[in-house]
Amino acid sequence: MKKTLFFSICFLLAGTAFSVAGEAERYKEFYEINLHENYPPVAELQAKLDADKFYDKGYDYTWNIGKKFKAAFRRIIKSYGLSEKRLKTPTEDVLLEAIKMMPPSTYQYIGPFMHTVPGMSPKILNYPGIKETKNRFPDRIAPELQHIEDLEFLSPSLYWVLMPEVWQRHSYAAEFPQQRKPLSKVQYNPKFYEKLNEFADLRAYIPKTRSQLPTKIDPLSRRTINPGPGSPLTAPDALAVAETFNGIAELNKDFQTFLKIIQATSLLNLWEEEQNPGFPVSPLMKDMANPCRRLIQKFRIIGEEKKLAAIAAEQGFTLDEWGYTCDKTVKAYRAANIGRSTATAISAYRKGLMDKENSKLSPSLAEANLALMQGLIEMYDAPLSDVAAVIRNRKKITDSFNRINNTLIFHPLGGID
């Protein structure tokens, strides 16, 4: 229930969160990946991770609850919810900040659901505008839904669907293209093309005459030797990465590997938190910004990188070379398929269109927004030449992405469109 509420608020706030100030570039360093970190032994990290689990639930997992009766555990569970002391939840301040950012006209779509969430903070439920929405059906409904009978019986968790602004017909773009007057028709001038032909051979742009040109070796038509962070992505490089996804598909099916990577994720997050206490970058955003190199990090922290290296070697990559080339391919693929809304959000951020709005937030929330926007830019950070290399073989690369369901184990490869 709380997850639904969180995603509903994030959806309503998407326009604000994606239009933050240009100073977020200072968070770029948090997204940098070092493939050769000196990680401590796994046992040492695991001991620290276990020490953080200070609360004894009385059982390990819901499927391993145990058979031994614990009287103390029974008393704790029985008394749960009967205490008069209010405990402040970790998300209370975040939700309150989010509500303050939203227009009051949107409260009627989220307020009724908040009143149904068990343990919801009274501070939020009594907030002006939210308090009045208890057991109240929204009065502004999207025209697409007004004809539905008994619509008032819709679950309060879905009231946000009723808001007209979430339907495309009522949405608007943050940027508008400049209107230009159509150019007047001009007469054909042979001298113009003769002059133009002095600078570039026009036959190269005409399919019928392209074969008449002397053959040249295109540097982007061959594999890159020893690819690194600054080397260009070629079409054969991208296809080679796509071929490695056959082996990745087998890893995706291996449940034991899946569990090990979950463990490695917790260990890596713990280690990074120790290196940069309180750093504002979400681990999930780091995974989405550079999914391939992050996967290498997780395999290395648990000493299982040979599995991944064997897959990379089938296409002539070392593990590091595969990580760099794979991330370039993923980012170029996202950029080649970027949606208009995402492109507009990134453009608005870079132009600093909403600096003033971000300055009104609390320091912690403003910092989180800036870090989020830098992560979004990192996801689509691909030069035009890399995008062109992917577009040349879009169909084959798309099929390879679909083969692994757009995930490396559980690292998302697709964009947010």
Judge whether residue 81 has pLDDT over 90.
Answer: no
pLDDT tens for each residue of 165-180: 888 665 555 555 566 7
Instruction: Identify whether residues 237 and 276 lie together within a single domain.
Output: yes
**Cα distance between residue 300 and residue 285, in whole Å:** 20
Instruction: Identify whether residues 234 and 301 lie together within a single domain.
Output: yes
DSSP assigned state of 285:
H
Average pLDDT of the segment spanning 397-408: 91
Q: Residue 43's pLDDT is what?
A: 87
Q: Residue 273's pLDDT is what?
A: 84
Instruction: Identify whether residues 278 and 399 lie together within a single domain.
Output: yes
Residue 30 CA to chain centroid, in angstroms?
15
Average pLDDT of the segment spanning 281-293: 90
Instruction: Identify whether residues 121 and 201 lie together within a single domain.
Output: no
- Name 164's Cβ contacts closer than 8 Å, sequence gap at least 6: 140, 141, 142, 143, 170
pLDDT tens for each residue of 110-154: 999 999 988 888 889 999 999 999 999 999 999 888 889 889 899
Judge whether residue 54 has pLDDT over 70.
Answer: no
Instruction: Identify whether residues 358 and 406 lie together within a single domain.
Output: yes
**Cα distance between residue 308 and residue 319, in whole Å:** 7
62: which 2 tokens? 């819901």
In a domain, 371, yes or no: yes
Q: Residue 319's pLDDT is what?
A: 94
In a domain, 326, yes or no: yes
Instruction: Identify whether residues 130 and 103 lie together within a single domain.
Output: yes
In a domain, 46, yes or no: no
Q: Residue 86's pLDDT is what?
A: 58
Q: Per-residue confidence at 53, pLDDT binned at 50, 70, 90?
A: low
Average pLDDT of the segment spanning 332-354: 86
Sign of the dihedral through C-alpha 39, 42, 43, 49: positive
Instruction: Identify whether residues 204 and 271 lie together within a single domain.
Output: no
Q: Per-residue confidence at 62, pLDDT binned at 50, 70, 90?
A: low
**Helix extents (H) in 149-254:** 190-199, 207-210, 235-253
Contact (CB, 8 A) for 174 and 357: no
Residue 373 CA to chain centroid, in angstroms?
10
In a domain, 261, yes or no: yes
In a domain, 65, yes or no: no
Number of domains in the chain: 3
Instruction: Identify whether residues 114 and 243 lie together within a single domain.
Output: no
**Cα distance between residue 256 and residue 21, in whole Å:** 43
399: which 2 tokens? 């099929």
pLDDT tens for each residue of 19-41: 333 454 677 888 888 898 888 88
Q: Which domain holds residue 156?
A: 92-170
